[in-house]
Amino acid sequence: MLAVAAGLACAPAPPPGAAPPRRPVVLSTEYDDQRAGEEARLEVAAALGLVRDPKLQELVDAIGRRFIGHLPARAFVYDFRVVDQWPPNAFALPGGTIYVSRGLLVLSNSEDEIANVLAHEITHAAARHAAARQAVAGGVNPFAMAFTNPAYLAAYSRDQEREADRGGQRLAAAAGYDPAGMNTFLASLGNVEKLLAGGSRMPGYFDTHPPTSERAAGAATRAQHMGWTRQPGVTRDRNDYLRRLAGLVVGEDPAEGIFEKGRFLHPDFDFALRIPDGWRFVNSPAAVGAVSQGGRARVMLELAGEGEDPAVFADEFVTQRAAELQAQIEGRRALTLNGLPAVEIRGSAPGPAGVVAGRITWIAYRGRVYRLGNLAQGVDAERALARGDVFTRSFRPLAPEDRAGIRVRRLRLATAHAGESLADFSRRTGNDWDAQRTAIANGLFASARLAEGQLLKIAVLEEYAASEAPESGGR
């Protein structure tokens, strides 16, 4: 669920329950890096979510820790995590927390490749590139902004990216990895870029980096002249590495809810919502909602907490948050929405661009209380609030027929027959990717003829089985 506030053109008061803005940390020393990184980790988890797969986390962590003994001493502790983001992406926070995205892992084909990516990001952290970038920007903390923009997460200078490519390959080689893993991964990344060129896509790893083809060529040249000695890896070989990735979600994850024909369906929390017609929906682990066409109205749903009585949470807002927001409470009522107990508060609060009118509703359902906000400003605020009521009033349990229609794509593995084309292989194995996407995912040409027993990644469309409801802010 992507936080709604990130998409607003106007700047109304913070969402109900949101923490007050924190003061930017000036990254003067590596101790400042550590403190800023600790704060930023919470933002990353809330905005993007983490993949909660202990075995996958153990794999990435084990590969990352092989580099620690080859790094300059720093005050911070390196930490490696998998962020639940589908576009291929990797980024480093000040203080040594390194993230790779779920989509980047799906694209990788060997331990050497992911090791080079981690080494690249470690170089950013070790060289304190965030601090250097902050200095150039005049002291503005680059990590004070929301972490909902993948392009921003990767936005070091191009010279810093080239430095991280060079340093990452040297670091990988020192730890016993093939530095050519950098150029083979960059080649796959470049093929994804070409596939998406000209179409609508989320910004990702490509947007603020030097051209991928340039980086791949430079990495290939360096690898040819770089001495290294192979050391035993975390995985035995490519096939063992791929088996560790099997089961990853390909594309959007239904565990965080899906948008379908103007509705939001959440199979794990077992509820459905309707989005106002023509509004742009947004989704992050922390909240789900929509923004009006003009950007002057928004609706959002957040988990308020565990409980059965919505009045408890409404009372807390009135006695604590309302004063912080300088909100004027204009009315309160208890009601029943689709058979569920609810409490609604109406009022207004000052915002940077004018007064924000709002209706906040707390609804109790299955041991949890949800907070649904309906906020608008401007001369048409009342009309926008009326449209936003569609969102609030539509909250209801998920219908069995809706749940039955939810599918998920997962990464699976299949072995090829001798001489098969990718198209024939895909038809036989039920692969949901076309030949071009299959080739990119496996580091092959689309015209490749396959070898007997060759293990390949495929995407399989499966019925989604709801798990236990995920923790807020992660998967």
Instruction: Specify the residue for token string 């603020």.
Output: 208
Cβ–Cβ under 8 Å, residues 175 and 125: no
What is the full DSSP assignment across 100-130? EEHHHHHH--SHHHHHHHHHHHHHHHHTTHH
What the chain holds in terms of domains, given with CATH numbers, is: 17-237 (no CATH), 246-254+406-475 (no CATH), 271-397 (3.40.1000.10)
What's the pLDDT band for 352 if we cut at 50, 70, 90?
Answer: confident
Give the whole-angstrom CA distance, residue 315 versus residue 461: 45
* 390: pLDDT strictly greater than 60: yes
Over range 457-463, report the average pLDDT.
Answer: 97
> pLDDT tier at 18 (50, 70, 90 boundaries)?
very low
Ranges of H-type helices in 349-444: 381-393, 400-404, 422-429, 435-441
**298 within 8 A of 362, measured Cβ to Cβ:** no
3-state secondary structure of 8: coil
290 pLDDT more than 70: yes
Mean pLDDT of 192-220: 65
What pLDDT, in 10s, does the model give residues 34-89?
A: 676 777 788 888 888 899 899 999 999 999 999 999 987 776 788 999 999 998 98
Q: What is the pLDDT of residue 309?
A: 97
Percentages helix, strand, coil for the chain (3-state, rounded to 5) are: 35, 25, 40
CA–CA gap between residue 362 and residue 376 (Å, rounded)? 18
pLDDT tier for residue 415 given thresholds of 50, 70 and 90: very high
Q: Point out which residues pair with 302 in neighbouring strands.
A: 287, 371
pLDDT tens for each residue of 101-150: 999 999 999 999 999 999 999 998 887 655 545 443 333 322 222 333 43
Residue keyed to tokens 């509820």: 271
CB 461 within 8 A of CB 411: no
